[in-house]
Structures are given as C-alpha cells and as structure tokens.
Chains A and B, each alone.
Chain A
Amino acid sequence: MNTPMNEKDLDNSGRRIVVDPVTRIEGHMRCEVNVDENNVIRNAVSTGTMWRGLEVILKGRDPRDAWAFVERICGVCTGTHALTSVRAVEDALGIQIPLNAHLIRHLMDKTLQVHDHIVHFYHLHALDWVNPVNALKADPVGTSELQKMVSPHHPKSSPGYFKDVQTRLKKFVETGQLGLFSNGYWDNPAYKLPPEADLMAVAHYLEALDLQKDIVKIHTIFGGKNPHPNFMVGGVACAINIDGVGASGAPVNMTSLNFVLQRIQEAQAFTKNVYLPDVLAVAGIYKDWLHGGGLASQNVLSYGTYQKVPYDKSSELLPAGAIVNGNWNEVHEVDVRDPEQIKEFVDHSWYTYEGGKKGLHPWDGETAPKFELGPNTVGTRTNIKEIDESAKYSWIKAPRWKGHAMEVGPLARYIVAYVSGKEYVQEQVNRSLSAFNQNTGLDLGLKQFLPSTLGRTLARALECELCVDTMLDDWHQLVGNIKNGDSSTANVEKWDPASWPKEAMGVGTNEAPRGALGHWIKIKDGKIENYQAIVPTTWNGSPRDAEGNIGAFEAALMNTPMERPDEPVEILRTLHSFDPCLACSTHVMSADGQELTKVKIR
C-alpha cells in the first residue's frame, strides 16, 4: 500500500478547502486540504488552534495538587490526566499503592474509557455516517425488524417504539428550528444508510444520551463527581467500610459496591446489544469506504495499560509496543524514560527552542510560544483565510518516536495487542472481521480492513467491550480482596513532603481514550520544578517535522475522494475517527520560564 507519509508525497496545487472550526471534537481545530481535479485529497494540513499553558502554571506548586490542575487539561477524557499525574508523582517518590486502590483506579479508568467511547460514537461521530433527516422516510416496522436482526437481545425494538422516536423527530424537524442539525449535509450522497438504519441510529443516539449519564456514576461513587472526579497521590480517597460502625456514611460500602456493579452490567448490556452491533452494521453498509488508514498501517505506538498484577508491565491486557514501517512481525520495546526515544519538535509549531535546539525529551522540554504565520498565508495575522504549512502552523508540537511520526489510540493499541498475541483481542478482531466479510460478501484480510477510518471506529467499540468485561473482573477482585480482610486504600508513608528527597523525577503513563499519554515531572524541594505532558492528540494531530514527516491526521486524509468538496463529510469522518481532543494536545513547559509568585497562605 502506498501511504503518503512525507510532504514530498503531497500536492498542494489543487483547490484549497478550509474547515474551521472542525466541530464535534473537544477544543479548537482547523483543517485545510487540497483536492485534485477528481476531488481526491492530495494535501492535508491540521492545525491546533488553542493553547492554555497549563504546565507553566504548575511550576512551583505542590506535586500532590498537580492531578487537579492537569485533570482540567480535558473534561471529556476526564480523570485520565489526573490518574497519569498521580502515577508520575508516585513514580518520582517511590510510592506503591494498595491493591484496592489499584482496582478502584482501574474501575474509574475503564469507566471513562467506556463512557468516552460511547459518547464519541453516538454524539460526536455518528452524524458522519447517519442522516437523521433521512430517518423521517423510514418504515418503523422495517426498523424494528432490522433491530431484532442485528441485536436480538436489545429490549427496545418494537415498531411502536421506533414510531414514537420518528414522530418526535418529525415534529422537531417541522418546527423549522433544526438546532444541532442545522446546516448539516443531509442531501450529500456520502450518506449511505437506508432510512430504517438511520432511524435505528437516531433512537440509539437518544438511548446513549440517557445511558452515558449513568455509567459515569461509578466516578461519582469513587471520586465524588463527574466530570472531574477526585484522585489522590498514594491511593484513593474513598475509604472502605463494609460492616463496621459508620459504614453507611463511608464512601465505599455494600450499597455503593452494589450500585457500581449495576452500572457495569448496564454498560455491558448496551455495549454488546447496541454499540458493537451498530458499528458492524454501519461498517457493512460503508464497506466500500475503506479510506483513512494513514499512519495506522505503518507506525503505531502504545504505552500499554490495565495491569492484572500491579507494577508488572508484562501483565497488561493491552501491551506496550511500537510498530514502524508497517512491519507487523516486529514489536519494538518502548521506554518513555529513554531520552533518545521520545522527542518533541517545534519546526512547524508556534514555539521556539532556546538556541535553536532540535528535538527535546519531555524531562528536558522547553517551550516559549511564538505565534507567527508564514509568507504564503492568505489573510492577516488575526484573520487567517489559508494557512502556510511551509512555516509554523499549529499550537501542537510534533512528538516523534525514534524519529517516526506515530499514530496512537484504540486502533494502535489493538494492532499492537493483536500482533503481540493477546488472545482476547485476537478473538474480538477475528470475530468482527469474519462478521464483516460475511455481511458484505467481501474477503478482506486484517491489514486491508483494520488500518482504516472504519477500523479505528471498530477498535474503539471492541475496546469498550474489553473494558466492560474486565470491569466485572476488577469488581469481583475488589470484593474478594475486601473479603480476605484487606480494606486498605491509601499508602500515606510519603504523604508528608518532609519525607521526600531533595530532588526527584518520575513519569506516569496511561492509555487514555485517545491513545498514549505520558506525564513527566521533576520535583525539587517539595515543589514542581518541571512538568510536561505529551498527550494522544499531540501525536495524532502533530504538524510536520523538520524532515517533512506528516502527522496521523494529515496522513489519514490523504487519497480520500470527496463527494462535494464544499461539504466536508469525508474530512470530518476521518478526523472524528481519531476523536480529536485539542485542549489536551496543546501545552507548554518552560524550564527557564517565569518564576511563580509565592501564593501559599499559611
């Protein structure tokens, strides 16, 4: 397969299309493409259009507070930055957390994964495949039959149910106030679902909206609220009291554990009865739309996640590893501490490095913002019509693994896990591919199907299934451990900063909903000296580097034909398959930045 991965493979001579704002994502993003005379994308430019500077704000603060600041990097993947932050601090200080805390954190982390994936598919991504206006033409009886066929166990499947949904939609559309559906591309031939499937999807859009508010209640039990549940260095703050005095007022007790179990079971039923069948049904109808693979077929990266045995990386359900140049026979080891493996570049990013340094490892990271546009920009500094990608053009840096631009995310995790021989993942992927081939009469191989926009969307759904299944394991293990007499939730030996070394450095990693996430911290005299995060959308949304290597968003858009270049359905489809998160991706750290004013009130 000929995947353009470098700017030398691109052609920007054709018509320029600008999409700004890219909607149905977290944060602010712009995308420009050039299409050739056949309306095929031959150049793609992705620009992160926001910057908040959180890490410079962290300098000089109490490392135990860092989780709350970085949690606010993103309210969509809420909690994953907090978790990664407490891991970084614990790594720096040599703190190991109790088993119960490990399991509760897993339950919270997977709750996020499940919530995020479901909301992404139904509320951010679905409208790239589903045409709600077309659902008005559906025969509810046909939708009911379709529902029973793709998912015999889903209870909401009667013709009357779908008729009600359709009636509500009809009245909504007839008001002329289309709200969120205004100016959609509803007569674009890129939409291919029959009306009956569109109606089913609209019903599930609403069902998912109801369900998502319930699954997050697991965060509310363990972390007090959602979005932005509370985390804590050394373990979890939710003490366990099953049968002692005051148990009913304790955070974790018999009723709250029962409550959590019920939420897991509901999420599991929805995932298996609705989410997965919907993704496969959509894939079957869009079987000819296998665009959007980009870097996925070549370079993918995972830090690994979900350790069955705490602090044992070999026990991870989704393992760490890097694959480069499309060689699935070799999974490279990834070391986030190695200064030669991960580096960030700013040649095309709105930052400068002191003394013109090249790439920097995050422990040595520095950033001074520098907003400047290239000479070929069309428009002005505060009214950009067309951006100049030959110069600096994004608030996102360009991270590279051993010099390679990498794709991260559910698909990257699933490719690494599959080729690493993880049986659960292999069974899921094989089962899905054979269902796809059976439904469509095609005979695609794994490498033809998986690295694509549809493959990315499928991997996310499969991962959701993995999470709901293993959340049950985590829950039972937690209860079993409590039954064995262990109610410990926190290791407070090093809570007091007086017990810390004068200087320490650490790294925390996680596989966030959108991909590999790392936080690097340096602590000095009990305060944060350096804090740096490289987040999934920094990898995927990366601009070009000095060698001309393009990022995952840009690569995935290449060679995609557009039905109507003025209506960016195809661009949105592929960008959304990454679930971009722009507030996450733009960050700064200045090793020699401004000193913070002392703000302690003591």
Chain B
Amino acid sequence: MPQSIETFYEVMRRQGITRRSFLKYCSLTAAALGLGPAFAPRIAHAMETKERTPVIWVHGLECTCCSESFIRSAHPLVKDVVLSMISLDYDDTLMAAAGHHAEAALEETIQKYKGKYILAVEGNPPLNEDGMFCIVGGKPFLDQLKHAAKDAAAVIAWGSCASWGCVQAARPNPTQAVPIHKVITDKPIIKVPGCPPIAEVMTGVITYMLTFGRLPELDRQGRPKMFYSQRIHDKCYRRPHFDAGQFVEQWDDESARKGYCLYKVGCKGPTTYNACSTVRWNEGTSFPIQAGHGCIGCSEDGFWDKGSFYDRLSNIPQFGIEKNADEIGMAVAGGVGAAVAAHAAVSAIKRAQHKGDQE
C-alpha cells in the first residue's frame, strides 16, 4: 500500500522517538557531518520540513550491477527509499533528464546543498589516456567525480569497483582504473564492497546513516563493521560439514547433493568478509554456497588476482587461526588460506576428540 510522503521528523515520531531525542539526533548529525553544534537547529528545521537528504550517484567504469542490486532491496523497498528517504537528484542510470539538463540537475544539487549531500560512487575512474577511457559530458569522469566530491558531506563507495578497483583493475589494468580513495583524499569514504554488494546491505547502510545520523562504525579498511566484520565461513550453514570433514570432492557428487562443505572445490568463504551467509541474497532467498557454488570472494580486495576460483585455499605458510577482519584485513587471500588450512586441521583434531558423535 503506498504511503504518503513523511518528513524525517514525522517518521521518527511515528517510531516513538521523542522531540527531545530528535533534537539530540540533530546535534549528532551535525557532529557527524563535521558542522559543529550551531548547525543542529538548522538540521532540525530541515528534518521537520520537507527536505530529504540529497544523494548524487555517479557512475565511472563499472557494469551497473550495484544499481541493479540496489533496486532489489526488499526492506526497505527501493521505492520507499527513493520517494521518502533520500532525494536521488542525480543518477544517470535512472533519471529522466539527459545531456545538459542532467548536468544542470547535478550542479543545482551541489550548489544548493553544499556540504550536505551524500555522494554515492559506483565504478571507478581510469587514469590512463587523460581519463578519457570514461567520458561524461565530453570530459573525463575523473573531473565529475572530484567536482562532486568536493562539497559532499560523505562519500559512499558502492561495490568492489569503487572500493578496490574490481575487474577492470585486475592485472594488467589497461586503463589504470583506481579505487576512489586514491583520488578523493579529504572526505570520509564508506566502502561497501561486493560485486555487487547485497541489496539490503546497501539500503541498510543508507538507512543507518539517515536514522542514527552518523556514519556506521568502520573497520580499518573503511567497511561498515555491521556487515563486514565476519567471514562468510563463520556463519555458513555448511560449516558443520567443514568441521566434520565432510567435503564436496567433485561437482554433482553425492556430497554435493547432500550439501556438504565446498572448501575443497575452491570456496573462498573462509577468507571473505561479507554478510552473505547471514543476510543472504535477494530478501534472504539463498546465497552462493547454498546454491552449490563456492564463494568467489567478490567483496575482497583484488579477488580477481588471487588464483582460480576453483583452487583450494591451502599449501600456504601458516598465518593464524580465527583472526578477525582488522587483524588480517590487509593480507592477501593466499595468506589467509593458511589460516583455513590450519583451521581445517584444528577442526579435524576436535572431530577426532569427539569421534562417534556424527557421520
């Protein structure tokens, strides 16, 4: 059932938030945006009137999978996000206007909401050929990106392209595509990696910021801890089979039909930080491992250049067991693989200790 447009204040009141809490929230928002306490009343005023947070969504070298994922969001529904939560003032994938009318919409938002809008970046800028491997409005995308970033309150790096570089930055990276933190160095950047990120993770990050008025807590690499602090392996429904030493040895074997662990056919779940095994995909329908294919590690930095997706994570010098995201964040998957091998060994020992419990 369609709802009427509500201001943020109305939404919060409906959810039982008091006037007092609302004003506190506005102060926090001001602080989060680096605006100082004097701005809190202005934010309160904006929230009480009909201002939705303006979002500018730009596209560099990418495949649009992040936009596609975004519109899959089930809670909240993307129509509610776009009609009631944010004002998507520029997004060349969905906006009605084109050409100079589109560019004018971008400019109006930047001028009118200086320091107040969120810049969402899908894809990344190529640096080779003076940036002309990606042209917007006759100019390098890099120019548009820097221009839009200059007055943004915060920047969201959607997906692995903006966060890490992703496929066009895989070796030998012919266009010299770079993640956006290489060219935007003076703004907070929230990385939401994945190829693409999960829809509800994307809208979850946005609604968190709008609801709590602050950036989500980030890990050392700039990812929201609420979605990226655990490995897929940690919460995988097939994990008991890993611990029990029950593995798929070949595609479509008996073990595959029983839903055993995919570690031996290359699953990167043990080294991949993402919410696939908890939030799952497409309204919680399933996720890659549940559908029988190993995780390819698409939310990890440089996952394209870490060997075949079907290579087992093994034979790597030992790294450690059960490290968290911050501790191993910068390590390559190969290094992390060692942890898995060691982890498998430990699990095997534990299994030996409890022999007879299962199988």
Chain A residues close to B by CB (< 8 Å): 18-28, 30, 49-54, 56-57, 61-62, 64-65, 68-69, 72-76, 78, 119, 123-124, 127, 164-165, 167-168, 171-172, 174-177, 179-185, 206, 209-210, 212-214, 216-217, 219-230, 232, 234-241, 244-246, 249-251, 256, 259, 369, 371, 379, 381-385, 395, 487-490, 492, 495, 567-568, 572, 583, 588, 594, 596-597, 599-602
Contact = CB atoms under 8 A, between A and B. Distances in A.
A76 B237 contact: no
B234 interface: no
B308 A62 contact: yes
Nearest to B122: A75
Contacts of A30: 135, 138
Nearest to A381: B130
B97 A26 contact: no
Contact of A75 (B65, B105, B108): B65
B326 to A, nearest CB: 23
29 contacts: A20-B138, A21-B92, A23-B95, A28-B141, A65-B309, A72-B195, A74-B64, A174-B5, A182-B90, A182-B108, A185-B97, A185-B101, A212-B71, A213-B71, A213-B73, A219-B282, A224-B281, A227-B65, A227-B69, A227-B196, A245-B258, A246-B257, A251-B286, A369-B129, A384-B135, A384-B139, A588-B174, A596-B172, A599-B306
Given A57-B172, A220-B282, A234-B251, 15 more contacts: A20-B138, A23-B92, A62-B310, A76-B63, A182-B105, A220-B281, A220-B286, A225-B276, A225-B281, A226-B72, A239-B257, A381-B132, A395-B133, A495-B250, A583-B64
Interface stretch (B75-83, B180-188, B348-356): B75-83
A219 B68 CA distance: 14
A379 B139 CA distance: 10
B43 to A, nearest CB: 16
Nearest to B109: A182
Contacts of B86: 179
Contacts of B296: 68, 230
A383 B307 CA distance: 40
B72 to A, nearest CB: 4
Contacts of A72: 63, 65, 166-167, 195
Contact of A183 (B92, B105, B130): B105
A65 B310 contact: yes
B349 to A, nearest CB: 25
Nearest to A386: B138
A168 B77 CA distance: 15
Q: Do most interface residues of chain A lie in helix, strand or loop, or is the interface mixed?
A: loop
Nearest to A488: B252
A79 to B, nearest CB: 11
A208 to B, nearest CB: 10
B65 A78 contact: yes
B352 to A, nearest CB: 23
Interface in B331-355: 332-334, 337
Given A69-B167, A168-B5, A171-B4, A230 B133 contact: no
Nearest to B142: A382
Given A24-B98, A64-B308, A172-B83, A221 B134 contact: no
A488 B254 CA distance: 11
Contacts of B143: 382
B167 A54 contact: yes
A582 to B, nearest CB: 9
B61 interface: yes
A601 B132 contact: no
Nearest to B287: A224
Question: 9 smallest A-B Cβ distances: which pairs?
Answer: A75-B65, A224-B288, A249-B259, A246-B258, A224-B291, A171-B5, A184-B96, A53-B174, A237-B293
A480 to B, nearest CB: 19
Interface string B89-119: 1111111111111111100100000000000
B216 interface: no
Contacts of A54: 167-168
B3 interface: yes
Given A72-B63, A244-B257, A21 B96 contact: no
Interface size range of chain B in the complex: 35 or more
A183 B59 contact: no
In this complex, the member of A22, A206, A213 whose beta carbon has the largest number of chain B beta carbons within 10 angstroms is A213
Contact of B290 (A124, A224, A232): A224
Contacts of B243: none
Contact of A176 (B50, B65, B175, B199): B50
Contacts of A123: 71, 94
Given A23-B95, A65-B309, A74-B63, A239 B282 contact: no
Nearest to A25: B93
A232 B293 contact: yes
A214 B282 CA distance: 8
B304 A69 contact: yes
Contact of A20 (B137, B305, B334): B137
Contact of A52 (B50, B61, B251, B260): B61
Contacts of B5: 168, 171-172, 174-175
B130 to A, nearest CB: 5
Contact of B102 (A23, A228, A229, A379): A23
B2 interface: yes
A174 to B, nearest CB: 7
Given A184-B97, A226-B282, A227-B68, A177 B87 contact: yes
B20 interface: no
B136 A23 contact: no
A123 B195 CA distance: 22
B38 interface: no
Nearest to A249: B259
B170 interface: yes
Given A51-B175, A210-B79, A383-B138, A221 B50 contact: no
Contact of B283 (A18, A56, A213): A213
Contacts of B108: 182
A492 B252 contact: yes
Contacts of A24: 92-96, 98
